[in-house]
Amino acid sequence: MNQRVPSYYGAALPAAERNKVLRNTYWLLALSLLPTVLGAWIGVATGITLQLNGILGLVVFLGGAFGFIYAIEKTKNSAAGVPVLLGFTFFMGLMLSRLIAMVLGFKNGSELVMTAFAGTAGVFFVMASLASVIKRDLSGMGKWLFIGAIVLMVGSIINVFVGSSAGMMAISVLAIGIFSAFMLYDLKRIIDGGETNYISATLALYLDIVNVFQSLLALLGLMGGERE
């Protein structure tokens, strides 16, 4: 999920300041992937998240995610902002470990995980390239993407109780499209000077990337998983 409200571009920052925010965002985004990998590895190795099924898993995920996002927004202008963000990325790695462990249970599980990772990296590269060359203002996308994310969240919660594979596939395809577009929107907002805080910028892009990776991995597992 991407827990944001639509935001619109404010007064443009000087080019040097915009480049500084973008550079710091990329560095922190790269750093944030390390706790994610660590959390996912611990989760897979211990199986700690395999017990989080149905409503329990939903409550733990939503409670933890909303709590961390609230804390990040409260501390983003202080020295505690980066550690809190990294704590959140570790938590997200733990939450991802359940899906990763399930996919690794397939004979070609490792290949599917690497394909999802490569696909997500490819989406990010394409969106970053587009954001750097598109000249038009994309701020109008924000409200429509936000509505799409809300619809997606509601559909995902419903499917937790329904347990439909077809529903999961539809949700995954929709999520890949929505959060790829969110990625473009967020990158363009940073480039245009609409986001002045690199911690907030990193959080937004991180959520985009995690959602694309998770949805792509789920889709690959449903469509291409080979049983032992």
63 Cβ neighbours under 8 A, 6+ residues apart? none
Q: For the residues 177-187, what does the mean pLDDT come to?
A: 94
Residue 213 banded pLDDT, cuts 50, 70, 90: very high
Residue 39 banded pLDDT, cuts 50, 70, 90: very high
Of 3-12, 34-43, 104-113, 202-211, which gets the smallest average pLDDT?
3-12
Quote the DSSP letter at residue 51: G
Residue 205 banded pLDDT, cuts 50, 70, 90: very high
Integer Cα distance of 54 and 137 in angstroms: 41
Q: How many angstroms from the chain centroid is the CA of residue 57?
A: 18
| pLDDT at res. 7 | 45
74 Cβ neighbours under 8 A, 6+ residues apart? none
Per-residue pLDDT for 176 more than 90? yes
Tokens at residue 148, please?
């799409």
Q: Sign of torsion, CA 52 97 85 172?
A: negative
Enumerate the domain spans of the chain.
15-224
